[in-house]
Structures are given as C-alpha cells and as structure tokens.
Amino acid sequence: MDDGMTRAGSRPREQAVWARAPLGPRTPPLDLLTARFDRHRYAPHCHDEFSVGVCVEGREVIDYRGGRLDVGPGSIVVLAPGEVHTGGPGAAGGYAYRAMYPAPPLLAEGTTAAPHFRDPVVDDPELAAALRAAHTELAAHADPLEAESRIPWLLAALARRHGTARPLDDRVPGADHIARAVRGRLADELLTPPTLTELAAPLGLSRYQLLRAFRTSTGMPPYAWLAQHRVTLARAHLEAGLRPSEVAPLVGFADQAHLTRWFRRVLGVTPAAYRSSVRGSGVRRNSVQDTER
C-alpha cells in the first residue's frame, strides 16, 4: 500500500489496512495498521496494548494526557495502554502512518520492568526508519521467524533508549557457541524453521538474550542468516537449470517473490537474471563469488 497523500483536487482517501504478524508460541500475534486519512478523526478511545506508530507523511494531532501532540513525518508516537486519546489531521492534506499494537511484555524484554514513556513523541530517526521498514515488510509478508526476530528487538530498543525502566544486563557468555548451535538447527530445519522461542528454550535463554548473542557473533539476526543460507542453496539449483519458481519452495522461501527479494538483497540481481547470466556465460560459481568481495 502506498503511503503517499492525495494530490490537490482529488477525492479524499480514507484507508486503513490491518495485518497480523506471528510472534511465536505463547505470544499473541502483533496487529499492524497502515492508514492514510484526509479527514477522518478518531473519537476518544484507548487500547489494551501499547500503540507504537510512525508518522509517514502529513501532520497528525492527538489529544493525550490532557494535552495535544503535534506529530510530523519521522516521529515515533508511543501511547500507553488504557490512556484515552484521539487522532486526526493537523493540516490540509491529511496524514499517513504505520502503527503496531504490542502487549506490554513485548516492550519489557530488554528492561528490568515495564517501561514508561514520559514523552510520547520520540525523535529517533534511525529507530523510526527501522520500525517503518519492519512494519512494511511484515505487513506484506509475515514470516514467523523474521517477525519474532525483528519486532521484540526493535521494541526493546525503543524501551531501552526512551523509556524510564533500567536496561537489563544483556551480556551473554559463549555467544559464538550459541550462534553455531542456532545456525546448525536452522540449516537442519530449513523448510520449517523453529521459532525464536523454540531456539532459545533448549539453550536456557530468553528471546532477547538469544538475539543479542547471535547478533554479537554473526552481525545479523537469525532470520537474515537463514535467508542468506537459503540464497546460497538457491544459487546451486539455479546453476543446475531450475527456474526460480521451482527453486523457491526447495530452499524454504514462501514463493518466488520472497526468493527474489532476498536474492537481490544478497547478490544484487534477480534469480532469473542470475540463472540466465551464469548458464549463458558458463561462469563458474567461484568466479561469481569473487565479484561479491
């Protein structure tokens, strides 16, 4: 869904699209809202969960805790559970935003207690961009391991950077050993990978501790490592002559579009272009790898 606003003279557009991202066993799925309103104003209401939103375009005004918030593009808005609030356009042209509704425990995985946010409007461009990217990609394709790797990590960062609760000591001894164990299991269970919770439990770790250890050792979260491992396997199938649509399910991608998205991220070309160039030129696998260094 395009986040862009309506052009001058066009009809008002009032759009709201909901999606849901799975977050593993014993954790409720996360509701994701993509909205664009020219005129719509929310009546006073509240949520049982936190509301964490990123303003994408335009300006929104929110009545909250006896005051009024004026929210512009790139701002993160954090509204606490049970707090009555409104929402509406702050100027002509409307506004667009992406929001997620995490239960309080999700924001407390990296802190010693449930966080409190004194200032509901957070200025953190790096985190805002990461939240928006995760929301966009998970709303379009809710891969369970990816959702469980990205969302708790980003929400923990939000709570640790901008909440009042003290961060947990997240040093995890033996990070390299933990990463090796996780990589081995993901490779063995390529087509039906375990959730982050299922990976953490046998190691006696929380989700957040597992993420911290894995990222410390490899520089990436488990879902990204798995995607790159799948791309490596996909290359061999493409070099053998299989079509991308045939390769995707063989290596665990949901469909050809999922394969293409990650193939381009890792190698810079589409699977079809890679297959055509390698098979057409007779380039050996190791010569392709040399160009990636």
Neighbours of 259 (CB within 10 A): 26
At 56-102, the pLDDT tens digits run 999 999 999 999 999 999 999 999 999 999 999 997 789 999 999 99
Q: If you average pLDDT over residues 259-284, what whole number do you get?
A: 87
pLDDT score, position 172 = 86
Strand-strand pairing, 76-79 and 121-122: antiparallel
Q: CA–CA separation, 105 vs 254, rounded Å?
A: 30
Beta bridge partners of 121: 77
pLDDT of 256 above 60:
yes
Higher-confidence residue: 27 or 263? 263
**pLDDT surpassing 90 at residue 25:** no
Question: What pLDDT is recorded for position 292?
Answer: 34
Given pLDDT bands bounded at 50, 70 and 90, which one contains residue 281?
A: low
Least confident of 40-54, 58-72, 137-151: 137-151
Structure-token match 């950077």, residue found: 161
What pTM was computed for the model? Answer: 0.84
pLDDT in tens, 204-239: 999 999 999 999 999 999 999 999 999 999 999 999
Q: In the prediction, which pLDDT does 169 show?
A: 84
pLDDT of the residue at 12: 61
Report d(CA 68, CA 63) in Å as an integer. 4
Say if CB 190 and CB 234 are below 8 A apart. no
Indicate the range of 66-75, 129-138, 163-172, 222-231 predicted with least confidence: 163-172
Structure-model confidence comparison of residues 260 and 293, the more confident one: 260
pLDDT of residue 2: 44
Residue 3 pLDDT more than 60? no
